[in-house]
Structure formats: C-alpha cells, structure tokens
Structure 1
Amino acid sequence: MPAAPILVIKLGALGDIVLATGPFAAIRAHHPDASITLLTTKPYAAWLGSAPYFDDIWIDPRPGALDVVGWFSLHQRLRGGGFGRVYDLQTSGRSSRYFWLMRPNAPDWSGIAPGCSHPDTDPNRNHLHTVERQAGQLRAAGIAEVPPPTLDWCDADLTRFTLPARFALLVPGGSAHRPEKRWPALAYAALARRLLERGITPLLIGTGTEARVLAEIDAQAPGVVSLLGQTDFPSLCALAHRAELAVGNDTGPMHLIATAGCRSVVLFSGASDPALTAPRGRAVTVLREARLEDLSVDRVMEGVG
C-alpha cells in the first residue's frame, strides 16, 4: 500500500527557511517512500523546488481575514491533498488555523495547534534556538534525529560575474523597518577599506531597497564591488561557497551565507537575541552591542581574524 502523502508547512522568513533545512532532511529520511508537499510563500517556491526534500511545492495564498472565497479554496485544497500527516514548522497562529481547516477529519499533525495529534508541549520552546525548538517538535512526532541545517544541494553558475581572486561578502542591509539592526554604512566602508588593504575585495550584497546604503559604502571605499540586485538564493549560495569570509547584519541572507559554509561574522544589536536566532554554520562568530553604532571596526576585524 502506498505511503500516505505528507505536508510540510514553512512560510518564511528567509532565515527561518534556512534553519528548517535540517528538519526538511529529517522528514524526508523518515518518510522515504511518501510524496512530500511543501506549503510555502512565493519568494521561496522555485528555490525550494530544487531542494532534494519535496515532490511538490504549493504556494500559500494567505487569504485575508474577510476573504471567504480564499479561505474556502484553501480549505478545499488542503482537504483534497489526502495527507496522512502534516508537519507545521511555521507554528504560527495562521498555520495553526490550517489545522482547523482540515477538521473534522484532520490528519496527524505535528505543531502547536490545540487538539493536534503530535503537539510540541515543551514549556520552554519559546526560549530555545529555532534549531533546537524544531528538533524537539520532531522528536515529539517520532523523528529522533535531525541533522544541522545544510545548503550543500544549492549552487549556481557564477560565470556572469567577474570575480576577483580573493573576495569577501558584506551584507549591510536588513529590514527597512528595523534600522536598529543595521551597523552604520560608514562603519562598513571602514571595514571594506581594511579588507582591501589585505588584498580582499569586498562584494556588497543587497536588493533595491538597500541601494542607498550600498551606494554610500561604494563612495567611501573605492575598490569595492556592488552586486546590488544581482544575486538570487542559488547565486548567493555559490558566492558563499567561494568567499573567504562574510560580515553582515542579523538578516536573512547571512543565514544563507553562513549555512552554505562561509566563515561568517554576524552583527547583532539589542533588538534581537542570537541565543534564539543566530545563523548556524561551520564557522559563525556573533558580535553583539546594545546599539550597533557602538560596535567598533577594530572589534569586527578581530572577529574576522
């Protein structure tokens, strides 16, 4: 008899997606013969479709509170999937509501939805790092071994870039509404000049919303190379595989870079707790100051080594 299909729910954000690659691998290993579907959001669908964990990718339409048609359509799709088990790795209020969409004959469910069959009842779960929290959730569902996050499967052709022999990745951006999580642009420029003196070319990583900060660093540190808007998830992984080091703020791309294996220095302010959310990788150094403007370039260079 064929194994019942499995649904995994992981909607975002990027850092959380990267940290969930260990659980993705564990679920795949635990259900080797099952068809596994991932429910995620549009920014990650194509990328995760190339991962070795899933047979199908669904994009969550995220219906609004008053979108009756949208909720009914999602209800029909979830119920029609014939899933024997759901692993809710998002464990949010929204994803828990999806459990109720599948009642009264909901499948086995790993998560925090009240009434689910395999709840994560650890009273300390909200005080654990994401990696340990999700490992505990999967243990409660019968999966004893969860490997570390990995992006070994992710790579890309970099021939479109003219890359220097030695380069570092600088990630000076982050959420626009969280400026307190950004080390100042002038500090990044000073760091870039120090790296250039060592013969290491800084590559600036960012999207269109970070154009101003990248331009400021570029103007203050002649010799840097701006890759503004030129990288996607696979190419960023590929750059991380080849870079000597990376320095960046507490933001999603640094999770990807660190997990891809690049030696990484990640800068935290008092606005977030690295004990709960720090990137994981083979060589990650976390530096923290209550106010990032008080973090000196000398201290960051010490972290670089």
Structure 2
Amino acid sequence: MSEILITRFSALGDLVTLEPMLRALRTFHRDDTITFLTSGIGEALYGERFERCLAYPQRSSGRWRQAGELKRQLEALTPAGRFERVYDIQASTLSLLTALRLRKGRLVNQSTRLSEKLMGRKARGLTTPELLRAAGFPEERIDAYWSQPASRTIALPVPEAEAARFEEQFAARARPVAVIAPGASERWSSKQWGEARFAELAVRLDAAGYTVAVIGSQWEQAAAAQIVERLPEALDFTARTGIRELVGLLSRASLFVGNDSGPAHLAAGVALPTVTLFGPTGEMHCAGRLPYRGEHACLTPHDIPCHPCYKPVCPTERECLASIPVDEVLATALAIARPSPPPLR
C-alpha cells in the first residue's frame, strides 16, 4: 500500500468536469491511501471517495510560505512523511511549489507545458489516459479501462443522506420539482438572465404542474425574493445549502434551469436535465457538449453580434440574454424534463 497525493483546488465547474479523472485515479490506486489536497468545495464533492481530504484556503500572496505550510501539514498525515506518487492536476504556482518541496517518489503534472502555465498562459492539460501513462501504468490496462463509456462519463457521487432528506421533503408536494438558479458568480453580472424573467418562468412552470425550488448563495437572495413574491408556493433554498446538500437536492429534482454557472454543472453531474442560458460566454461550455449523463440544452442569444464577448460586466444591459424569451426557455425545459428522479439505492 502506497501513499498517493492528488492536488486540485478549484474551481467548482472544473472540479465537476474532472470527476472521470479523479475516479480513474481512485480505480488505478484502489489499494493505496489517497490524500486529496483541495478546496472546501472539492472536499464536499469528493470527501467520501478518498481516505483523506485536506481543504486548504488559498491566499492571494505568500505562495512560498503557503507551500511550506502545506508541506508540513501533508507530511504529518503520512506515517513516513513521504508520498510515493504526487499528481498535480492544478498545475499552479502554489501546487507546483508544494509538490517540489514534498518528500516523494514520482511527480506527475497535468499541464503539458508547465512553463506557460506558470506565466499565466493557457496550456493544454493531459487527458486521463495521458496522465495514467505518465504515472507509469501499463498501456493495455489504461486502454481496457478508458474504452468503457462509463469511465469517460461525468457522474458525481450523490450523498445519500442529503438526497433522502430532500426526497422526503419534495414528496410532500406530490409534484415533480423544477430547480431555478437565477444567479451566477458575483463577478459575472453579465451572465444573469434577469430576476423578472426567472420569476415569470417560475409562475409558468407552476402552472405546468411543477414545484419550483430556487437555489443560490447569499448573492441570489434578492432574486429569490422576487421569484417568491410572484410565486409564494416556491421553495427558497438560497443561502441555505452547502455543496453536499445542493448535490442531494439536485439529484431528487426533475429539471434545472439557470445561467451559465457552477450549479448547472452540479445538476448535469447528477444526470438532472438542464437548460442553461448563455450570454457573454460561448455554448462550448454547455453540459450538452460534455460527457454528462441525461439530456441538456443550451439556449443562446438571437442575432446579437457581440456574443460571445466574455466580459464579466455587460456594457449593453445584457441585450444578449434579453433576446432569449421566456416562451423558448419554458418550451425547452418541458421538452427535456424527466418525470421523476431515479430511485435511491
């Protein structure tokens, strides 16, 4: 049995889409002890998959000092103070400095061109088979594993206790649940379709026979209040769920509608049908173009020449998203919604 370290701090969407790679590393190191160095989000998503999780709050300065702190904490976790293999799938300055200072055997870095990555330039990351080859696993074993479609599909682990709690709560409504996520990250105001449109959508989903549940952080509480004002029967979960609870909630719903944001990837990660609205960003980020299970639709602006602009703040009052009508969102959502979630184990 060997000590293995995997490092990946952020971000939410990336942590979700890396699920097949993390599952592959778990499979290929089935008999080893794995420590996962990550963020609080990563711990919430994958804490039960690995023997140890170290959630480290990164700071914007003092990378050398932080690397020293991590070295001490990580080596204290292992009986011999050493890792046989270190997988750096963050490929950042902090993760590299930490890996270089650790007592270790082989270091496997996901970045194909680390020098460019450290200078802030985009660098292609190794695919899962490439990462496993770099780690020294036999080619035939890698091919046999990766040839299975399930190995390449994103399938987030669902926390059963949280899922069971929401299943019981939703069962009392005796209607399928449609989840609405009206926000985006705090710095991406340009991604927001708008509270009034989401409120109108909620009313019409209710009329179509759905219980509407609103999710988000504290930044979405004002938007949720506007939705609940239009539809008092809606369930407001904004700022009331952590990542584990949110995954459990989404796994028990029938439909998700939201902006291009992390919750859309969480929903797709548990095979919940999703409708994602794209304004400043391109539809190549849509769940339907990634190896998720279930049905996923992306709706894009109509005849807006500046789309996609990738600007966090829109100079034109989000005319791109305003061009997507409620009628289109509703029709798309009703077409792909599932009647009910799959049974819990």
Normalized against structure 1, the TM-score is what?
0.82
> Are the structure 2 counterparts of residues 193 and 235 from structure 1 closer, same or farther at C-alpha, using a change threshold of 3 Å?
same
Counterpart code for 2:294: R
Displacement after TM superposition at 1:158 (Å): 1.6
Q: Are the aligned partners of 1:6 and 1:35 in contact in 2 as well (CA < 8 Å)? A: yes
- Distance in 2, matches of 1:61 and 1:207, equals 19
Q: Return the alpha-carbon distance in structure 1 between the equivalents of residues 72 and 8 of structure 2.
A: 19
Pick closer, same or farther for the CA change 1:222–1:69 going to 2, 3 Å: closer
Deviation at 1:68, TM superposition (A): 5.5
Change (3 A) 1:292 1:134: farther
Q: Comparing both chains, which one has the higher relative contact order based on Cα–Cα distances under 8 Å and sequence gaps of 6 or more?
A: 1
1:215 equivalent to 2:215? Answer: no
For 1:140 and 1:125, the matched residues in 2 are separated by 19
SS in 2 for 1:199: coil
**Mean alpha-carbon deviation: is it higher for 62-71 or for 203-212?**
62-71
- SS of residue in 2 equivalent to 1:149: coil
Deviation at 1:72, TM superposition (A): 2.3
What corresponds to 2:32 in structure 1?
34
Counterpart position of 1:300: 329
Specify the alignment match of 1:250 in structure 2: 260
Q: Which residue of 1 aligns with 2:108?
A: 109
1:283 aligns with 2:295: yes
SS at match of 1:107: strand
Amino acid at match of 2:43: A
**Distance change >3 Å, CA 284–CA 67, structure 1 → 2:** closer
Which residues of structure 2 form unaligned runs of 5+?
Answer: 302-306, 308-319, 336-345
Please name the residue that 1:85 is paired with.
85
Could you tell me the TM-score, scaled by structure 2's length? 0.73
CA distance in 2, matches of 1:34, 1:62: 27
How much does 1:88 deviate? 2.0
Asked if 1:148 is matched to 2:153, the reply is yes
Residue 164 of structure 1 pairs with residue 165 of structure 2: no
Aligned to 1:138: 131
Task: Report deviation, 1:134.
Answer: 4.0
What's the counterpart of residue 244 of structure 2? Answer: 234
RMSD between superposed Cα atoms in Å: 3.0
Distance 1:264 1:276 in 2: 13
Query: Cα distance, 1:109 vs. partner?
Result: 1.4
Deviations 1:64-119 (A, max 9, x none): 5336644322233456641122222223343233333348x663313228689xx9
Alpha-carbon deviations, 1:216-260, whole Å to 9, x = none? 122233432212222233332232222121101111122111111
Distance 1:282 1:71 in 2: 40
- 8 A Cα contact 2:178 2:211, kept in partner: yes
- SS of aligned partner of 1:202: strand
| Residue segments in structure 1 that go unaligned for 5+ positions in a row | none
Aligned counterpart, 1:273: 282
CA–CA separation in structure 2 for the residues paired with 1:189 and 1:261: 25
Q: 2:3 maps to which residue? A: 5
Identity %: 27
Residues 97, 113 of structure 1: 8 Å contact kept: no
Contact persistence 2:283–2:298 (CA under 8 A): yes
**Which region of structure 1 is more displaced relative to structure 2, 148-157 or 183-192?**
148-157
Task: Give 1:288's aligned amino acid.
Answer: T
